[in-house]
């Protein structure tokens, strides 16, 4: 068993890097800095761009050795970033806002999903095509997401009292078993699973109905932004290059994902479908013009407005574009 | 327990294997008939998945098993050491019991992130969570076993001028061996489950990782294949520990004659003990977080919880939310606890009368205990709904297995001489059960009644998180996902306090009953 305290790890890491730099510096331009990127879920093509960056050496060329830490049901992103075990974490604007309101010193330094992936999934014979269709329906979701439904209803003038919320665990079984009429889920996972199982479903993206919350956002602490700037720029540069490659060939990204993680139990066809479905969420006219991960004052303002509806008031200062400006500049 | 002539028997036993074959056939047909609603996978589909994904399953199994075995060793070692400490230093017993209970009550939503930050990538959190899943259920039975010796033997040793260590080596350890076997048997499936659940904290590989993946992918054959593997390995480990135990269990149980204990307890004894336990708990809580330098953001100290619940501006609303949720939880945990305990003890007694049933009941019980509840909950919810019935069932399912095993071992400790006496008088099996075996079972029963307290809390909070969306389980899941760690640690503190109070209640009941039936357990 391997037991380390973060402080000791930091000390050791620091000592080794310093020693390493002293010995290696004459021979090599730059020693490899070891940093970690905390992913928000288990390995899958959801993080395809990062895998491409890893494989093509976009980070190692910049002197960065990045370990990609998988998430999981009980692996929140925020603690390792606060503790410093991960330099950057992949969060979402609403989660980051909640953490910041609890005192975490985070900034959002990049946005992978321009459009929020939350969707209402329903079966073709009893579809939910617009928020108004929700009235009189049973929706399965985690009760923790009630503010999301409330915000959607407020934005679209739907009376939430007409919707019956059924607390369910996060899978499609309650929908296909007929326990509920629709599910609140990501457009890129449960609907993909249903399609792979031969169940036809309808997805209504919340982002198409006024729900503006950046997702798969890159977060770092204020301390890292001030003191580990070079590493952050190098890491984000690799991400941008990786995701640009991803856009050129999502299928290849799916194949790489399955190949890199043989123990993750990934199915190639599922990964390809997911890879294709997340493209419109991550790439837009904005990213075409300004580059992957970009955000503007306008998109931030829209986020601030939706987050206020979610009961997570934040100021636009939560977003910090300076790292991306260095990456793209 | 051999199947003597007095024991009820099926009039004509079916050929071996036929029952299994019929069961599989019914399962297959039921699965095929309901394929469209994704409830159960057919045996043929499960087998097919195992064959087509054998490499993947094999590697995942290896990873989970490695963590489970390490956790099993460390956790049981810790459990035995705690029990030895409690017997050698009787004054520390109450404190140790309280601390062990509180640590066992820590929920995964809080321990997961902390362990991952402490260990970094790798299997550290899985091993630790597997160890945490087993130490308590070994500690309690071994503690009972270390006391299950006649007072006369201790008096004899004392008259020779021998000390506590000799008594430990010559009397207590041999007496504890069968109880240790019970603890290890209960630990086998729990360690495997603990390792699987530990993988939810961000592991790279293992059966727990595959379970999460399969559930989200609506991949029933995969979910069920993993469940079958988890259940299979747990049943094998259970049987292996049992076989090993029978090899060592040479001496038949003795008649334990002990004088009734009349303890002259001073009035301020109990409050002083409680105050000491509270102080030490707070010290360890704060001290460990400071030593490891855990950020206050997610590792709240005692004073943060005090501030959150008492002195902060929103304290009143936060208290109301917390106590409301706790009330909802206790209303379901109580009936589930009693049902599980009753079911476990009842089954153990029933198996004395109908030993042939054990072949079916025990493996099924192990299976239920070794499959992660996130995989079984959908089935229970589908069958019983999201109301009280489903939640109470989940709680009962989680606690009846340790109770059953502990009670079975307790029953087997019925002194041979007493059984012979009943035999001589040609007493009926039922009479023998009530007059001889039931009293012998009581110490083990109360040990399981203590073990079941934290198990019931864990089960009810999991069911609330997955199915009902109410109570303290849903509250903890919600606040953990929104970084509201102040509420999370307040909930942990309150749940811990509730567990300690429930434990005190059971302990008081235990003292009252055992003073009549097994006074040796109360002698210090």
Q: Which residue has the higher pLDDT, B485 or A21?
A: B485
Whether A262 and B218 lie within 8 Å, measured CB to CB? no
Determine the Cα–Cα distance for residues B288 and B128; give it in Å rounded to an integer: 16
pLDDT at B90 over 60: yes
Measured at the CA of B204, the angle between CA B202 and CA B207, to 5 degrees, comes to: 95
Residue pair A155/A309 in contact (Cβ under 8 Å)? The answer is yes
Give DSSP secondary structure letters for B202-257.
T-SSSHHHHHHHHHHTT-HHHHHHHHHHHHHHHHHHHHHHHHHHHHH--SPPPP--
pLDDT at res. B434: 85
Task: For residues B269-296, give the mean pLDDT.
Answer: 91
The verdict on residue B23 lying in a domain is no
Percent of chain A with pLDDT over 70: 91
pLDDT at res. B515: 82
pLDDT at res. A22: 40
Residue pair B369/B396 in contact (Cβ under 8 Å)? The answer is no
Residue pair B478/B289 in contact (Cβ under 8 Å)? The answer is no
* CATH number 3.40.50.720 given to A118-209: no
> Helix, strand, or coil here: A219?
strand
pLDDT at res. A1: 43
> Helix, strand, or coil here: A102?
coil
Determine the Cα–Cα distance for residues A91 and B481; give it in Å rounded to an integer: 11
CATH number of A32-115+213-328: 3.40.190.10, 3.40.50.880, 3.30.70.60, 3.40.640.10?
A: 3.40.190.10
The verdict on residue B7 lying in a domain is no
Distance from CA of B292 to the nearest CA of A (A): 6
Task: For residues A45-51, give the mean pLDDT.
Answer: 97
pLDDT at A27 over 70: no
Task: For residues B27-36, give the mean pLDDT.
Answer: 86
Q: Between residues 187 and 216 of chain A, which touch chain B (CB distance below 8 Å)?
A: 189-190, 193-194, 196-197, 199
CATH number at residue B513: 1.10.3720.10
Task: For residues A265-289, give the mean pLDDT.
Answer: 96
pLDDT at res. B7: 42
User: In CATH terms, are A32-115+213-328 and A118-209 the same topology?
Assistant: yes
Q: Based on the structure, what is the number of domains in chain B?
A: 1
The verdict on residue B163 lying in a domain is yes
Could you say which of A79, A173, A194 has the minimum Cβ distance to residue B378?
A173
Determine the Cα–Cα distance for residues B443 and A282; give it in Å rounded to an integer: 62
Half-sphere exposure of B365 (CA within 13 A, CB side): 24
Instruction: Give the highest mean pLDDT range of A135-139, B141-145, B440-444, B507-511.
Output: A135-139
Determine the Cα–Cα distance for residues A98 and A103; give it in Å rounded to an integer: 9
Chain A: residue nearest B203 by CA?
A: A70
The verdict on residue B56 lying in a domain is yes
Look at residues A53, A43, A48 and name the one whose alpha carbon lies nearest to residue A262.
A43
pLDDT at res. B249: 63
Q: Tell me, yes or no, if A222 comes closer than 8 A to chain B by beta carbon.
A: no
Average pLDDT, chain A: 89
Could you say which of A168, A172, A262 has the minimum Cβ distance to residue B218?
A172
Determine the Cα–Cα distance for residues B289 and B355; give it in Å rounded to an integer: 50
Half-sphere exposure of A246 (CA within 13 A, CB side): 33
Residue B12 binned pLDDT confidence (cut-offs 50, 70, 90): low
Could you say which of B112, B295, B482 has the minimum Cβ distance to residue A83?
B295
Whether A42 and B378 lie within 8 Å, measured CB to CB? no
Percent of chain B with pLDDT over 90: 44
pLDDT at B281 over 80: yes
Chain A: residue nearest B49 by CA?
A: A265
pLDDT at B426 over 90: no
Range in A295-309, B231-245, B297-311 the model is least confident about: B231-245
The verdict on residue B27 lying in a domain is no
Q: Show me where the domains of chain A are located.
A: 32-115+213-328, 118-209
Whether B201 and A1 lie within 8 Å, measured CB to CB? no
Task: For residues B159-176, give the mean pLDDT.
Answer: 84
pLDDT in tens, A205-233: 999 999 999 999 999 999 999 999 999 99
pLDDT at A142 over 90: no
pTM reported for the whole predicted model? 0.88
Going from the C-alpha of A118 to that of each of A47, A190, A218, A295, B349, the distances in angstroms are: 17, 11, 18, 19, 52
Burial of B26 (0-12, 13-18, 19+ CB in 10 A): exposed
Range in A195-204, B164-173, B320-329 the model is least confident about: B164-173
Q: Which residue has the higher pLDDT, B379 or A59?
A: A59
pLDDT at A68 over 90: yes
Determine the Cα–Cα distance for residues B339 and B449; give it in Å rounded to an integer: 12
Q: Tell me, yes or no, if A43 comes closer than 8 A to chain B by beta carbon.
A: yes
pLDDT at B276 over 60: yes
Domain span at residue B302 reads 41-260+268-521
Name the token pair of A58.
């976009």
């Amino acid at each position: 068993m391997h037991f380390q305290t973060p402080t000791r790890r930091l000390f050791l890491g620091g000592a080794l890097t310093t020693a390493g730099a002293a010995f290696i510096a004459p021979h090599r331009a730059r020693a490899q800095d070891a940093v970690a990127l905390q992913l928000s879920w288990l390995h899958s093509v959801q993080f395809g761009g990062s895998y491409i960056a890893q494989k093509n050496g976009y980070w190692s060329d910049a002197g960065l050795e990045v370990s990609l830490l998988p998430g999981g049901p009980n692996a929140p992103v925020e603690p390792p970033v606060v503790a410093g075990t991960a330099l950057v974490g992949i969060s979402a604007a609403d989660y980051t806002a909640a953490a910041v309101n609890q005192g975490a010193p985070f900034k959002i330094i990049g946005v992978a999903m321009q459009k929020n992936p939350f969707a209402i999934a329903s079966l073709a014979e009893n579809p939910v095509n617009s928020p108004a269709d929700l009235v009189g329906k049973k929706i399965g979701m985690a009760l923790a997401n009630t503010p999301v439904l409330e915000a959607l209803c407020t934005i679209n003038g739907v009376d939430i009292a007409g919707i019956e919320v059924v607390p369910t665990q996060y899978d499609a079984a309650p929908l296909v078993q007929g326990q509920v009429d629709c599910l609140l889920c990501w457009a890129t996972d449960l609907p993909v699973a249903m399609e792979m199982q031969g169940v036809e479903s309808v997805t209504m993206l919340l982002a198409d109905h006024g729900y503006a919350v950046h997702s798969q956002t890159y977060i770092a602490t204020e301390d890292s932004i001030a003191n580990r700037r070079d590493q952050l720029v190098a890491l984000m540069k690799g991400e941008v290059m990786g995701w640009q490659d991803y856009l050129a060939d999502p299928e290849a990204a799916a194949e790489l994902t399955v190949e890199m993680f043989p123990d993750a139990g990934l199915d190639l066809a599922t990964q390809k479908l997911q890879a294709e479905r997340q493209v419109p969420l991550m790439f837009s006219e904005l990213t075409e013009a300004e580059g992957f991960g970009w955000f503007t004052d306008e998109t931030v303002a829209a986020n601030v407005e939706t987050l206020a509806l979610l009961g997570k008031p934040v100021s636009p200062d939560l977003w910090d574009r300076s790292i991306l400006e260095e990456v793209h500049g | 327990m051999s199947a003597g002539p007095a024991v009820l028997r099926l009039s004509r036993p079916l050929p071996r294997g036929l029952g299994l074959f019929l069961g599989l056939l019914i399962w297959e047909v039921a699965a095929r008939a309901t394929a469209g609603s994704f409830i159960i996978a057919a045996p043929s589909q499960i087998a097919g998945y195992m064959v087509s994904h054998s490499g993947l399953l094999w590697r995942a199994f290896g990873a989970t098993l490695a963590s489970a075995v390490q956790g099993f060793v460390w956790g049981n070692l810790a459990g035995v050491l705690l029990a030895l400490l409690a017997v050698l230093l009787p004054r520390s017993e109450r404190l140790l019991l309280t601390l062990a209970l509180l640590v066992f009550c820590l929920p995964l939503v809080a321990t997961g992130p902390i362990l991952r930050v402490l260990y970094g990538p790798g299997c550290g959190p899985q091993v630790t969570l597997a160890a945490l899943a087993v130490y308590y259920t070994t500690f309690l039975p071994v503690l009972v076993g270390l006391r299950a010796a006649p007072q006369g033997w201790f008096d004899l040793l004392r008259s020779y001028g021998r000390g506590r260590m000799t008594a430990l080596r010559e009397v207590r350890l041999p007496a504890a061996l069968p109880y240790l076997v019970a603890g290890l048997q209960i630990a086998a499936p729990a360690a495997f489950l603990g390792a699987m659940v530990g993988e939810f904290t961000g592991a790279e590989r293992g059966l727990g990782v595959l379970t999460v993946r399969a559930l989200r992918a609506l991949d029933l054959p995969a979910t069920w294949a993993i469940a079958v593997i988890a259940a299979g390995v747990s049943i094998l480990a259970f049987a292996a520990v049992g076989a090993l135990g029978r090899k060592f269990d040479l001496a038949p149980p003795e008649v334990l004659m002990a004088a009734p204990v009349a303890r002259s307890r001073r009035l301020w004894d109990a409050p002083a003990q409680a105050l000491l336990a509270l102080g030490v708990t707070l010290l360890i809580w704060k001290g460990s977080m400071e030593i490891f330098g855990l950020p206050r953001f997610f590792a709240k100290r005692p004073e943060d919880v005090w501030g959150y619940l008492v002195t902060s501006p929103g304290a009143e609303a936060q208290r109301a939310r917390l106590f409301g949720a706790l009330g909802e939880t206790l209303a379901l945990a109580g009936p589930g606890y009693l049902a599980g305990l009753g079911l476990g003890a009842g089954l153990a007694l029933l198996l004395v009368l109908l030993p042939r049933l054990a072949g079916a009941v025990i493996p099924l019980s192990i299976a239920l205990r070794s499959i992660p509840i996130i995989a079984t909950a959908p089935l229970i919810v589908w069958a019983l709904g999201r109301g009280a019935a489903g939640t109470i069932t989940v709680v009962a399912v989680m606690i009846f297995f340790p109770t059953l095993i502990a009670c079975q071992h307790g029953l087997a400790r019925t002194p041979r001489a007493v059984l012979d006496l009943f035999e001589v008088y040609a007493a009926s099996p039922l009479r023998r059960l009530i007059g001889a075996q039931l009293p012998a079972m009581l110490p083990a029963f109360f040990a399981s009644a203590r073990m079941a307290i934290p198990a019931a809390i864990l089960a009810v909070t999991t069911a609330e998180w997955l199915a009902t969306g109410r109570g303290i389980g849903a509250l903890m899941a919600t606040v953990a996902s929104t970084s509201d760690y102040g509420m999370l640690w307040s909930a942990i503190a309150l749940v811990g306090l509730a567990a300690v109070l429930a434990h005190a209640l059971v302990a008081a009941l235990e003292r009252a009953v055992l003073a009549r039936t097994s006074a040796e357990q109360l002698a210090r």
